[in-house]
Amino acid sequence: MFSNDLILESFMVTFPAVIESGSEAKLCASLLKPNESLVMNIYLVHGDQSTLLLQEKAEEEFHSCFNFQTPLVEAESVQTMKVELQGKNFKMTEERKVVFRRYNPLTFIQTDKPIYIPGQTVIESGSEAKLCASLLNPNESLVMNIYLVHGDQSTLLLQEKAEEEFHSCFNFQTPLVEAESVQTMKVELQGKNFKMTEERKVVFRRYNPLTFIQTDKPIYYSRTDR
């Protein structure tokens, strides 16, 4: 927060100290009791680059809040919020640091049965299983690919391109296996400045179908016939 108290002029500019990269952030500016016509300029400065966020000319008190688009950064960037206040007989500049931090989007995979490590999870072979995918707070346009991988074979289950949050559920046909097969669920998330891959093991197991025979009388062996 900026705050400066002068005998004749005072102003205040408020914004978060740490802001998520690629999001919208709120900035508020107040000018109190000016004794002349003043121009307030607020800049975001990074190296040699300077972006004008607000320019306000006022002869009276004002209070203004607005949202601005924060810059995209790789991981974390320390930049400068610069305020200039200028009139005919008055000029003042104040600067404060602000941190922009990138948060990786969260990816969730959900099936109708949990996916654990081999030996703990089983999905029935040759059946339909439910898979849900969610993308939260993307900072840029992203493509999500979900594959089922077994050896050299890779089957694309989902491809979703999104610039906003989404949640999608669908059924997929599980592979037929002889008895049991350990395979890999692979998620790729890629954008212009971002790439991530996650893998989890999943077990597909074949269950022998149950056969029921119904007769007009119970089927059993007598002691003499066995």
DSSP 61: -
Minimal CA–CA distance to 8: which of 39, 34, 40?
Answer: 34
Alpha helices (runs of H) in 44-94, residue ranges in sequence order: none
Backbone angles phi, psi at 140, to 5 degrees: -155, 175
Q: Give yes or no for residue 50 having a pLDDT over 90.
A: yes
Q: What's the pLDDT score for residue 119?
A: 46
Measure the CA–CA gap between 120 and 197, rounded to whole angstroms.
23
**Residue range 164-184, pLDDT digits in tens:** 887 878 788 888 877 788 888
Residue type at position 98: V
Measure the CA–CA gap between 50 and 95, rounded to whole angstroms.
13
Q: Give yes or no for residue 104 having a pLDDT over 80.
A: no
Q: What's the pLDDT score for residue 75?
A: 82
Do residues 21 and 89 lie in contact, with contact meaning Cβ atoms separated by under 8 Å? no
Burial class (CB in 10 A: 0-12, 13-18, 19+), 132: middle
Lowest mean pLDDT among 50-59, 146-155, 204-213: 204-213
Residue type at position 17: A
Do residues 200 and 111 lie in contact, with contact meaning Cβ atoms separated by under 8 Å? no
DSSP 104: P
Beta bridge partners of 113: none
Minimal CA–CA distance to 71: which of 28, 34, 106, 100?
Answer: 100
Measure the CA–CA gap between 123 and 133, rounded to whole angstroms.
18
Domains of the chain: 2-101 (2.60.40.1930), 107-205 (2.60.40.2950)
Q: What's the pLDDT score for residue 135?
A: 78
Measure the CA–CA gap between 200 and 155, rounded to whole angstroms.
15
The upper half-sphere exposure of residue 201, i.e. CA atoms within 13 Å in the direction of its Cβ, equals: 11
Measure the CA–CA gap between 69 and 23, rounded to whole angstroms.
6
Q: Which residue has the higher pLDDT, 1 or 133?
A: 133
Query: Span 141-162, mean pLDDT?
Result: 89
